[in-house]
C-alpha cells in the first residue's frame, strides 16, 4: 500500500509550523530567493518594501498578529487531524498532544514579538512533532509500509 499525501499531512503541517516558529529566519530571509534572483523589478521593489516593513520595529506588531494566527490555525488543523486518525491507536498520547498543543497556542497568543515565537520551536518539536511522527511511523508499520 503506498503512502499518500493525505497520510503525511499531519507531519507536513508540523514541519511547516516548526519553520514558521523559526521567525528570525523568516524575517531575515523573506522572499530572498525570489528577490535576489527575480527579474521582475517591480515585484522585487514591492517585496523588498514588505520585508523592510516586517523588520521595522514600529510596524512589526501588525505582521506578528497575522503571523500568530497562521501558526495557531496550523496547530488547530494538526490537532484535528491526529484526533481523527490516531485516537483509536493511542488515546492517551492524543489527549497529551492536544493538551500540549492548546498550551502552546496560549503561549503564542501571549508573545509580544517574533523572538518570543523562536523560543517555542523546541517545545513544539518535542511535544507535538516528534510524538506525531512516532504515531505516523507506528501506523505505517501496522500497514506493512516501510518507513525510514
pLDDT of residue 148: 62
Residue 95 falls within a domain, yes or no? yes
Distance CA 96, CA 83 (A): 11
Q: In terms of residue numbers, what domain contains 75?
A: 5-22+61-142
Q: Is position 34 within any domain?
A: no
The per-residue pLDDT string of the chain (148 residues; one tens digit each, 9 = 90 and over) reads 677 788 899 999 999 999 999 998 888 888 888 776 778 888 888 888 899 998 888 888 889 999 999 999 999 999 999 999 999 999 999 999 999 999 999 999 999 999 999 999 999 999 999 999 999 999 888 887 776 6
The predicted structure's pLDDT at residue 147: 63
Instruction: Count the domains in the chain.
Output: 1
Q: Does a structural domain hold residue 54?
A: no
- The reply to whether 112 falls in a domain is yes
* CA dist., res. 16 & res. 124, Å (int): 11
pLDDT confidence of residue 45: 87
Classify residue 32: in a domain, yes or no. no
Q: Is residue 134 part of a domain?
A: yes
Quickly list DSSP for 81-144.
Answer: HHHHHHTTT-HHHHHHHHHHHHHHHHHHHH--SHHHHHTTHHHHIIIIIHHHHHHHHHHHHHTT
* Residue 104 is assigned to a structural domain of this protein: yes
Domain assignment of residue 55, yes or no:
no
Collapsed DSSP state (helix, strand, coil) of residue 1: coil
Amino acid at each position: 500500500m503506498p503512502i499518500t499525501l493525505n497520510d503525511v499531512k499531519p507531519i507536513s503541517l508540523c514541519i511547516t509550523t516548526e519553520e514558521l516558529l523559526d521567525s528570525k529566519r523568516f524575517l531575515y530571509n523573506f522572499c530572498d530567493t525570489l528577490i535576489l534572483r527575480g527579474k521582475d523589478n517591480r515585484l522585487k521593489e514591492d517585496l523588498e518594501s514588505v520585508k523592510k516593513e516586517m523588520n521595522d520595529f514600529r510596524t512589526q506588531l501588525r505582521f506578528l498578529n497575522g503571523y500568530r494566527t497562521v501558526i495557531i490555525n496550523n496547530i488547530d488543523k494538526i490537532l484535528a487531524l491526529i484526533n481523527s486518525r490516531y485516537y483509536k491507536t493511542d488515546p492517551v498520547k492524543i489527549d497529551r498532544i492536544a493538551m500540549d498543543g492548546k498550551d502552546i497556542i496560549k503561549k503564542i497568543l501571549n508573545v509580544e514579538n517574533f523572538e518570543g515565537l523562536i523560543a517555542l520551536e523546541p517545545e513544539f518539536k518535542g511535544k507535538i512533532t516528534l510524538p506525531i511522527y512516532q504515531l505516523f511511523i507506528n501506523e505505517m508499520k501496522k500497514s506493512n509500509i516501510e518507513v525510514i
